[in-house]
Amino acid sequence: MSLHKLTAHEAHELLVKKEVSSYELTEAVFKRIDEVEDKVKAFVTITREAALEKAKAVDDKIKAGEQVKPLMGIPMVLKDNMCAQGVKTTCSSKILHNFVPPYNATVVEKLQEAGAIVVGKANMDEFAMGSSTETSAFAQTRNPWNTDCVPGGSSGGSAASVAADQGFYSLGSDTGGSIRQPASFCGVVGLKPTYGRVSRYGLIAFASSLDQIGPFAKDVEDCAQIMNVISGHDFRDSTSADVPVPDYTSFLNQDIKGLRVGIPKEYFVDGMDPEVEKSIRQAIAKLEELGAVCEEATLPHTEYALPVYYLIAPAEASSNLARYDGVRYGYRAEGAEDLLTMYKKSRSEGFGSEVKRRIMLGTYALSSGYYDAYYLKALKVRTLIKQDFDQAFEKFDVLVSPTAPSPAFRFGEKVDDPIQMYLSDIFTMSVNLAGIPGISIPCGLVNGLPVGLQLMGKHFDEGTLLKVAHAFEQSAGYYRNKPNL
Ligand code: GLN
């Protein structure tokens, strides 16, 4: 049996029936990694020994009669911007190439308590800035569906590893689309939770008011199980919300008859790949077939999402990244004769060009004299964008759109044209600006490459997203498509 191909819940069932051990599951995943990693390059770090040891410990607990919890003993992958104690955490940046955190992120702690097995840290765009994983200082992760194409970004390694069965699931982070867009490109399920749903403690910050951790999974049921483990209030993250966490699996296998689905007209624009549009229209027809009531919706300030995002995200990044000065963390340039030169050289040599571009844009937008004209204005428009959603959700339970305007593109196609690259998140950024949840689920293939359907929901209403996603998935069946690696 090809154990690595199972979903996490299928692997869990085998563990419960004692038909397989966690050690066997973990070995199967490493065998798969050995087989395909040369082609995919999903990882920055592989933690083989620690994972196998942990698997043995979990097996001992199971043998001793401990109840097998849903993610217990199941191998998974972390994006390399989440701190794991004693494991190199680089953000795919030269400036953190040797950073070994002395503590665990809250999500890592929660996963460990749940008995998860971390097999490695996934490659990403440097500091999560990008949409193709090409800005990584270390490697080019490839799309398992077509290795000439990018996996999306910034959580490209997390998405590719799950699509290539190098882990049963993974975690990523999403600031403007970095979970949903790579999930769409790699044909897996990716959920960005409501801002505050999942603790950001130990997530290396990019843009603190937008960043959120979430799962990549092979199907919606796994996604619900992962959300059950990682969600909840954390006193160590003052922006995490003290809102009760439902059992997300209770939203599976539910009827969606009468559910009100809005189709924002601003998300069906000229320039979108017609084949992508066709897949999305078919998906909408499928939702109608399942009893949902689909109608046009409007989000009038959509056109401002991109400029607003590219003022707010770089502004916050320029402040968050000020801490990398060669003194306290990571890379320090050699041969500087005084402190200021050491700062300058360390930062010049340690950061890649996209990160530098963001720091410059952000510093400019925050500088006195420009603050009111750019940053403050952007904050005001952000409120208008949020109000668009509030109004739409008075009428609708969920909104649907494409996750990205095109399927995965080729390496090099956009990397020298930042605006083109930025446009690949055109349908995902508003969700972060509004702080609402969004999920991407596979809804078809175009030229052998996956297309993702995005569902957007009300604050803290991940449950309804999972309900619709599960109903769609089970009836459409696209999640059974697998890349031919
Ligand atoms: N691609 C967007 C950016 O480059 C979003 C990244 C993200 O969500 N981390 O900022």
Determine whether 380 is an active site residue: no
Burial code (b: 16+ CB inside 10 Å, e: under 16) for 341-360 equals ebbebbbeebbbebbeebbe
- Distance from the CA of 204 to the center of ligand 1, in angstroms? 14
Quickly state the pLDDT bin for 479 (edges 50, 70, 90). confident
Residue 38 and residue 36: Cα distance in Å, rounded?
Answer: 6
Distance (angstroms) between ligand 1 centre and the Cα of 128 equals: 6
Using DSSP's 3-state secondary structure scheme, residue 79 falls into strand
In order of 78, 123, 162, 396, the CA distances from 260 in angstroms are: 35, 38, 32, 5
Phi, psi values for residue 206, rounded to 5°:
-110, -75
What pLDDT, in 10s, does the model give residues 391-443? 999 999 999 999 999 999 999 999 888 888 998 899 999 999 999 999 999 99
Q: For a ligand 1 pocket test, name from 129, 203, 310, 431 the mutation site with the most ligand atoms within 8 angstroms of its C-beta.
A: 129
* 239 Cα: distance to centroid of ligand 1 (angstroms): 20
Domain 3-259+397-480 fold? Amidase signature (AS) enzymes (3.90.1300)
pLDDT > 90: what percent of the chain?
Answer: 95
Which helix (H) or strand (E) segment holds residue 283: the answer is helix 274-289
The pLDDT-based confidence of 1 (bands split at 50, 70, 90) is low
* Segment (H or E) for 174: strand 169-174
Report residue 270's pLDDT band, with 50, 70 and 90 as the boundaries.
Answer: confident
Q: Strand pairing of 260-264 and 293-297?
A: parallel
Q: Residue with structure tokens 């040599």?
A: 349
92 carries an active-site annotation: no
Atom 10 in ligand 1: which residue has the minimum CA distance?
129
Q: Are 422 and 151 in contact (CB under 8 A)?
A: no
SS3 labels along 182-250: HHHHHCCEEEECCCCCECCCCECCCCCCCCEEEEEECCHHHHHHHHHHHECCCCCCCCCCCCCCCCHHH
pLDDT at 241: 98
Among 93, 125, 427, which residue has the most ligand 1 atoms within 8 Å of its CB, making it the best to mutate? Answer: 125
Atom of ligand 1 nearest to the CA of 424: 1
Kindly list the domain boundaries of the chain, sorted by start residue. 3-259+397-480
pLDDT digits (tens, 9 = 90+) for 432-449: 999 999 999 999 999 999
Q: How far is it, in rounded angstroms, from Cα 232 to Cα 211?
A: 16
In angstroms, the Cα distances linking 241 to 38, 202, 316, 386 are 41, 16, 21, 18
Q: DSSP for 305-333?
A: HHHHHHHHHHHHHHHHGGG-SSSSSS---
Ligand 1 centroid, distance to 58 Cα (angstroms): 36
Atom of ligand 1 nearest to the CA of 429: 5
pLDDT per residue as tens digits for the range 312-344: 999 999 999 999 999 988 999 999 999 999 999
Mean pLDDT, residues 132-143 taken together: 98
Section 254-282 average pLDDT: 94
User: pLDDT of 167-208, one tens digit each?
Assistant: 999 999 999 999 999 999 999 999 999 999 999 999 999 999
The catalytically annotated residue of 92, 158, 178, 184 is 178
Q: How far is the CA of 101 from the centre of ligand 1 (A)?
A: 24
Separation of alpha carbons 381 and 448, rounded Å:
39
Q: Rg (Cα) of the chain, in Å, rounded?
A: 21
Q: Name the band, by pLDDT with cuts 50, 70 and 90, for residue 218.
A: very high
Task: List pocket residues of ligand 1, CB cut-off 6 Å.
Answer: 128-131, 154, 174-178, 206, 313, 425
* Index of the ligand 1 atom closest to the CA of residue 358: 10
Task: Say if CB 103 and CB 194 are below 8 A apart.
Answer: no
Question: With pLDDT > 70 as the criterion, what percentage of the chain qualifies?
Answer: 100
Residues 51 and 120: their CA atoms lie apart, in Å, by 8
Residues written for the chain: 485
Mean pLDDT of 265-283: 91
- Give the mean pLDDT of 91-102: 97
How many other CB atoms are there within 10 angstroms of residue 138's CB atom?
A: 19
Which residues are paired to 217 by β-bridges?
A: 169, 189
pLDDT at residue 8, rounded to an integer: 98
Residue 459 has pLDDT above 70, yes or no: yes
Q: Give the separation between CA 438 and CA 191, rounded to whole angstroms.
A: 6
Cis peptide before 154 (omega within 30 of 0): yes
Tens digit of pLDDT for each residue in 344-370?
A: 999 999 999 999 999 999 999 999 999
Q: Identify whether 161 is a catalytic site residue.
A: no
Atom nearest to 177 CA in ligand 1: 8
Q: How far is the CA of 132 from the centre of ligand 1 (A)?
A: 10
Half-sphere exposure of 266 (CA within 13 A, CB side): 18
Contact 139, 145 (CB under 8 A): no
Q: Which one of 81, 131, 180 would you pick to mutate in the ligand 1 pocket, going by the greatest count of ligand atoms within 8 A of its CB?
A: 131
Instruction: In whole angstroms, give the CA distance from residue 446 to residue 373.
Output: 42
User: Quick check: helix, strand or coil at residue 466?
Assistant: helix
Which atom of ligand 1 is closest in space to residue 175's alpha carbon? 8
Residue 464 CA to residue 467 CA, distance in Å, equals 5
